[in-house]
Structures are given as structure tokens and as C-alpha cells.
Structure 1
Amino acid sequence: MSRRLLVGVIGAGSIDVAGAALAEEIGRRLAESGAVLVCGGLGGVMAAACRGAAGAGGETIGLLPGSDADSANNDVSIALPTGLGHARNVMIAQVSRVLIAVEGEYGTLSEIAIGLKLGKPVVVFGRWADLTGVHRVETAAEAVELALRLAVESRPADLNLS
């Protein structure tokens, strides 16, 4: 049985215009590849990435920190209220085949660290590039291309990218 690729897009809850454009392009490119975007479901990077994916006809899953599905951003296809607060970061890292970190602070760092601990590929932009084990990129196109390649290399047999 072939399964859809789940790609985690992680990052700050508040971002500037450049960060929003980057996250939106990543979301769009993931949707165009057939991947499902997984995120924390709220604002900032999460909302921009979901907007890009939804605009391209893609699916998005928001693992929300609280208990209210209505707190999800408008472009989350499937809102899953976990009631776990920051502990939902573990779920995001666990369910994603690969993670793309756009911007962020300690919450994003926790998702990166958990992803690495779980053996998941983690693709990052500038801020986190010095962390051991991450894959540094410069553009959205490069991030998505590398993330998809790493996902296929990590478990190629059951992956459907169509």
C-alpha cells in the first residue's frame, strides 16, 4: 500500500514578510509534489505554509497545542486539537517523514532536536545551520527538493509522490 508523504513545516508563530513568502512557497511546492503538509496549525510560518499548500490544492494537517479545533488557521484541512501544549512538537516530529524549519525560536529548536533524535532528516535555513545533523539550504525550491529526496532515501518502498 502506498502512503502520502507527510512533511513537517516548522517555525515561528510570528514572522516578517520575507519569512511568510518563504513559508508560503514551501507549502505550495510541497502541495505540487503531492506531499501533505504537517504543522502546528496556528499562525506565522504555519499559516503561511498552509496558505501556500491550500492555494495549490494541497492537504494540510494542524496538530494544535490546545483543545479547540477552531483555533487552527483558515488553511488547515485537518485540525487535530491535541491539548498537549508544546508537547505536540513531539507529535509533529514523529508523524513527519522529514522536517523543514523556516524560522523560529525555542519551540522550533525543540522540533528540530526531536526530529534529529528520532532519526528524521531536518532541512534548515540560516539560523539553525550550525546544528550537527541538519541539512542547510538557501531557497524554498532547494528545501523542498532536498526534503523530498531525503524522505525517499529514508523509506522509499511505501512512498507515493503523485
Structure 2
Amino acid sequence: MTKKIQILIIGHNQNGITPKTEKIAYETGMEVAKSGAVLITGGLEGVMKAASHGAKDGGGITVGIIPQNEPSPANEYCDIVIPSGMGLARDFLNALSGDGVIIIGGGAGTLSETCAAYMHNKPIVAIKNSGGIAEKYADTYLDHRKNVLITGVSSPKEAVKVLLEKINSV
């Protein structure tokens, strides 16, 4: 049996999501499902919920790795809930669980996950028109080491296509 590719989508929580970002996240989740990959998110609200909703509507499998120590805070679109009990340290668990990462908007928590993925040389794609961390770091490196170029893309379809190409070339 071949392991399924796991794509982590990160971005704004409920405090920062806009209708535009929510639509982008939903469509990206749908594209992940269409690709046959497993969607991983932080399992809560905002981009996490919208992406999970899109993946579920697309017939995909969704995993939510939440910071709490019991499953009830997870959004209703998570097939599998992993209550990490790790608080914000779960950002590293999320980053290491994905074969690659798609950034949609995002603030400090998203940056934390991006840094964790970057330090572990995970392929990273940022949707440029989604605001926040995604726009700020699209087409750049996080530091002088140039571990991973965060590739900027313009659509959910392109995000999944480019990320899968990067994952499959590793």
C-alpha cells in the first residue's frame, strides 16, 4: 500500500478570515480532495474550517490536529481529530505532518507553522491574493539560509498543482 500525500493548509483563524480568504480556503481544500491527497489543518475555525469543508465536499479525507487535549473544539468537517494537548507547540506537529504546505492569508500562528516547515525543508506554496503571511512571504525565503523558496501562486488549483510537483520531485 502506498502512503497518501498529506497536504497541510494553514492560514487565518476566525479572527482574521475574510469572505475572500474563506472562499480561497474552501476551493483549495476542494482541490486537495480532487488530487487524492489527505488534507491536514489545525482543525479549528477560519481557514482550517473552510479548507476542511471544501475537502469534505470534494470527497476527501480531513485531519485536524488541534492544540487542546480533547476533541470537541475541532470543526465539524474533520474526519480524524488529533487532540495534541500541546497548545501552540502543535504548530510543529502540524508542519511535520504535511508533505508540503499551502499558506492562505495568516498571522503570527501561521508564521510559526511556516517557520517550522521551512526549518524542516518542507515544500511551501503561498496564495498571493489571500493577504497576511501568504502575501508577505510569497516568492521569498524566510532567511539567509535559503532552505525553501516559498513559491507564490495565484489560485487554489495552481497551489495544489505546484505543491504536488514539488513534493513528487523531492
- TM-score in terms of structure 1 length: 0.92
Give runs of aligned pairs for residues 118-133 of structure 1, distance below 5 A.
118-125=120-127, 126-129=135-138, 131-132=140-141, 133=149
Residue 148 of structure 1 corresponds to 164
CA RMSD of aligned residues (A): 1.0
Q: What does the per-residue CA deviation read over 1:137-158, in whole Å, with 9 as the maximum and x for residues that have no partner?
A: 111111011011111112xxxx
Name the amino acid aligned to 1:22. I
Letter of the 1:5 partner, please give it.
I
Where structure 1 has 5 or more consecutive residues not aligned to the other structure, the ranges are 155-162
Q: How many residues align?
A: 154
Bigger relative CO (Cα 8 Å, ≥ 6 apart): 1
- Given that residues 139 and 151 in structure 2 are in contact (C-alpha distance below 8 angstroms), is that contact kept between their aligned partners in structure 1? no
Q: 2:73 aligned with 1:57, yes or no?
A: no
**Segments of 4+ in structure 1 off by > 3 A?**
none
Task: Note if contact 1:99-1:120 (Cα within 8 Å) is conserved in structure 2.
Answer: yes
The one-letter code sitting in structure 2 at the alignment partner of 1:149 is E
Q: Which runs of 5+ in 2 are unaligned?
A: 128-134, 142-148
Looking at structure 1, the residues matched to 87 and 136 of structure 2 have their Cα atoms a distance apart, in angstroms, of 24
| Cα deviation 1:99-139 (Å, max 9, x = unaligned) | 00001111101111111110101101223225412111111
Structure 1: how far apart are the matches of 2:159 and 2:63? 19
Q: Equivalent residue for 1:139? A: 155
